[in-house]
Amino acid sequence: MSKLVELSSEVAAALAGGSPVVALESTIIAHGMSYPANVATALEVEALIREEGAIPATIAVIGGKLHAGLSAEQIEHIGRTGAEMPKLSTRDLAYAVATGSDGATTVASTMQIAARAGIRIFATGGIGGVHRGGGTTFDISADLTELSRTPVAVVSAGAKAILDLPLTLEWLETLSVPVVGYGTGEFPAFYSRSSGLPLHMRCDTPSEMAAFLAAQWELGSIGVLIANPIPADQEILASEITPVIAEAVSEAQRRKISGKAVTPFLLAQLAQVTAGRSLKANIALVKNNARVAARIAAAYCASASDPKVCALLG
């Protein structure tokens, strides 16, 4: 484990004892939804992971220190600070450390910190990817680059539906990042179970996925995207949400919103237009991903011939 990362006592004990640990990001708390729903959801997600026999490790930068495993008070601090909390990707970590700042970690920076801590499994809502129009703007999330170089498995409901999903998959293929469907042969579209984009790798159980991850990391040091569809009773059909997303994207362009501000703006617009249905779907898929990640982490640890291998590898 890197000396730069401070583990909570619970996470440290789990890793030392070979117990499964699941990393969680903090941007979803600060920028994904408003207070107090953000804090309540974060604590509920941690509780779900514990119910599945794993230990949650919510990751953030607090006072310039990289934390893996937060207290309820620290989660409350991030939730109350909300959008005023800096959003830290990998390029921002050194500056936050050097200046003693606070910051909420994105998928990319959470992956990097998790890997330093020795945690291999990470649950989130949806990864970033190629933004619509990215073929000309080159607005591409650092999440994709991080997946290509950091050996952490990210359980998500695909990429955020506000993105260009076909181009995101193309870019992941270019970067040689495996995208594995969990119980599906299609790439999920965040709020919707199907995007119409086929996947050529699929695992149907935690043990199958654990075996795949072990083989992947024996062959090379690279991330894995585990595509886990939103539960059927919580999805918003693509035919309904697609035009709403298109209008929100157009509105962002009219207002000249760019960079890190795009995703929070679009998610807020969708929540408003759908009368909160998109937020409910977002919460449902995050919880579902957390459960699946905990089961995969448990299977990954159980498959190790020496329990300490789980602690060493995450």
Active site residues: 25, 160
What are residue 225's DSSP bridge partners?
A: 154, 179
Q: Is beta strand 103-105 parallel, antiparallel or unpaired with respect to 55-62?
A: antiparallel
Instruction: Please give the Cα distance from 203 to 158 (Å, whole number).
Output: 15
In terms of Cα–Cα distance, which of 154, 168, 163, 198 is closest to 270?
A: 163
- Judged on CB neighbours under 10 Å (0-12, 13-18, 19+), 200 is exposed
Angle at 150 between CA 172 and CA 52, to 5 degrees: 95
How many CA atoms, within 13 angstroms, populate the side-chain half-sphere of residue 230? 29
Residues in CB range of 61: below 8 A, 6 or more apart: 67, 88, 93, 96, 97, 101, 102, 103, 104, 105
In terms of Cα–Cα distance, which of 178, 173, 168 is closest to 219?
A: 178
Question: 3-class SS at 297?
Answer: helix
